[in-house]
């Protein structure tokens, strides 16, 4: 599918556009599968092995967690997920950091069990190199780093050595900026950017440069604007509306708006009532010609949304 040029990249990314004139990589190999970025939007299904996920779908609430995670993952694949993203630490605003041993204990049995049941690519959602290393050894195929190589200096060399794809996310989250509301959850307030789009482009570009200096192949890099991470409600809305600006970096883009608080505060609905808001964000991201991967909780619904949006755009 040829993606439309809904908006030309704005001036804020002109410098990075000239620095990153490389066109979008044609193919990315994830595990045993090859994906062609121009063909369709990929779907990443979220498998939360946590007791405290903001979305209310955390599976680590009883001793059946592995069984439930495998059942969920297999259902996601049946419903259209191309990738399963397994995470053991909540990243909701204000969440407490989890120690490495506990995180490994949560995710490894799930990854091992999923690997026995499916050849679908598995992603490990972590910013800790030791967790990523254990997960990759257990059968994971890629790394989704929500801190984009900023938290653990060992992550980039590990990913380079293993030769696996990496999601580099933009993240300015600070605990002091997090505000909690019982019904709608956490959000970031008062976060200041000199120029939102230019700052996100510049910082992602620097993170990509770090990855490449470590030896990570450009064809293995996916960028993520970090919806919900260190951005206010309005900043999140703006990023989705202007997602095409990130095309200047010449890399595939992952969009993760699913059930997030910017939807809740916009529509005044709790996490379990955010499917329509998520669908709207997914559609806009695809129509902007910028969302190559969508990371979602509601895989069946969002897979259909993506397929239908792709089909409409492909029809010209």
Report the CATH number at residue 110: 3.20.20.20
Q: Is residue 217 part of a domain?
A: yes
What pLDDT sits at residue 168?
A: 98
Which of these, 48, 54, 17, 101, lies nearest to 229 by C-alpha position?
Answer: 54
Q: Is residue 5 part of a domain?
A: no
Q: How confident is the model over 171-192, as pLDDT tens digits? A: 998 766 777 787 888 888 889 9
Residues of the chain where predicted confidence (pLDDT) is lower than 70: 1-22, 52-62, 93-95, 175-176
Q: Is residue 20 part of a domain?
A: no
Q: Is residue 58 part of a domain?
A: yes
Q: Is residue 201 part of a domain?
A: yes
Contacts of the segment 1-6: beta carbons below 8 A, 24+ positions apart? 1/38, 1/39, 1/40, 1/310, 1/313, 1/314, 2/38, 2/314, 3/38, 3/289, 3/290, 3/313, 4/287, 4/289, 4/313, 5/244, 5/289, 6/244, 6/287, 6/288, 6/289
What pLDDT sits at residue 233?
A: 95
DSSP 8-state class, residue 106: H
Enclosing domain of residue 115: 11-15+40-314
Chain centroid offset of residue 1 CA: 22
Q: Provide DSSP, 174-207.
A: -GGGEEEETTTEEEE-S---SSHHHHHHHHHHHH
What pLDDT sits at residue 183?
A: 83
Q: How confident is the model over 21-57, as pLDDT tens digits? A: 358 888 999 999 999 998 999 999 999 998 865 545 5
What pLDDT sits at residue 180?
A: 76
Which of these, 137, 12, 267, lies nearest to 281 by C-alpha position?
Answer: 267
**Contact in structure between 50 and 60 (CB atoms under 8 Å):** yes
What pLDDT sits at residue 107?
A: 96
**Contact in structure between 220 and 164 (CB atoms under 8 Å):** yes
**Contact in structure between 76 and 118 (CB atoms under 8 Å):** no
Which of these, 103, 211, 115, lies nearest to 165 by C-alpha position?
Answer: 211
β partners of residue 272: none
**Contact in structure between 200 and 246 (CB atoms under 8 Å):** yes
Phi, psi of 230 (to 5 degrees): 70, 30
What pLDDT sits at residue 187?
A: 83
What pLDDT sits at residue 21?
A: 39
Q: What angle do CA 53, 58, 59 make, to 5 degrees?
A: 160
Which of these, 155, 148, 110, lies nearest to 132 by C-alpha position?
Answer: 155
Q: Is residue 4 part of a domain?
A: no
> How many structural domains comprise the chain?
1
DSSP 8-state class, residue 150: S
Tokens read off for 231: 């951005």
**Contact in structure between 46 and 295 (CB atoms under 8 Å):** yes
Q: Is residue 23 part of a domain?
A: no
| Active-site residue list | 260, 295
Q: Is residue 122 part of a domain?
A: yes
């Amino acid at each position: 599918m040829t993606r439309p040029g809904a908006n030309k990249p704005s001036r804020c990314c002109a410098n990075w556009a000239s620095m990153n004139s490389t066109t979008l990589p044609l193919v990315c190999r994830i595990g045993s599968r090859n994906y062609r970025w121009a063909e369709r939007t990929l779907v990443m299904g979220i498998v939360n092995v946590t007791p405290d996920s903001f979305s209310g779908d955390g599976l680590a609430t009883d001793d059946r967690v592995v069984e439930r995670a495998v059942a969920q993952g297999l259902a996601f694949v049946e419903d259209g997920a191309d990738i399963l993203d397994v995470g053991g630490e909540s990243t909701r605003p204000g969440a407490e950091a989890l120690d490495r041993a506990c995180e490994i204990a949560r995710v490894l049995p799930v990854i091992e069990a999923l690997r026995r049941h499916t050849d679908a690519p598995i992603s490990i959602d972590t910013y800790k190199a030791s967790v990523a290393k254990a997960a990759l050894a257990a059968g994971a195929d890629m790394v989704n780093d929500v801190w984009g190589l900023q938290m653990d200096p060992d992550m980039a060399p590990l990913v380079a050595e293993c030769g696996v794809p990496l999601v580099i996310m933009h993240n300015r989250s600070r605990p002091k900026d997090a505000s909690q509301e019982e019904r709608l959850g956490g959000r970031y307030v008062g976060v200041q950017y000199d120029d939102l789009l230019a700052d996100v482009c510049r910082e992602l570009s620097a993170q990509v440069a770090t990855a490449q200096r470590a030896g990570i192949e450009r064809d293995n890099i996916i960028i993520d604007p970090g919806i919900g991470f260190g951005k206010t409600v309005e900043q999140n809305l703006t990023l989705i509306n202007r997602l095409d600006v990130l095309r200047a970096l010449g890399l595939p883009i992952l969009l993760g708006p699913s059930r997030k608080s910017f939807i809740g505060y916009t529509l005044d609905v709790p996490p379990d009532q955010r499917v329509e808001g998520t669908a709207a964000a997914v559609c806009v991201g695809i129509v902007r010609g910028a969302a190559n991967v969508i990371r979602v909780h509601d895989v069946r619904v969002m897979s259909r949304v993506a397929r239908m949006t792709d089909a409409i755009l492909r029809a010209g």
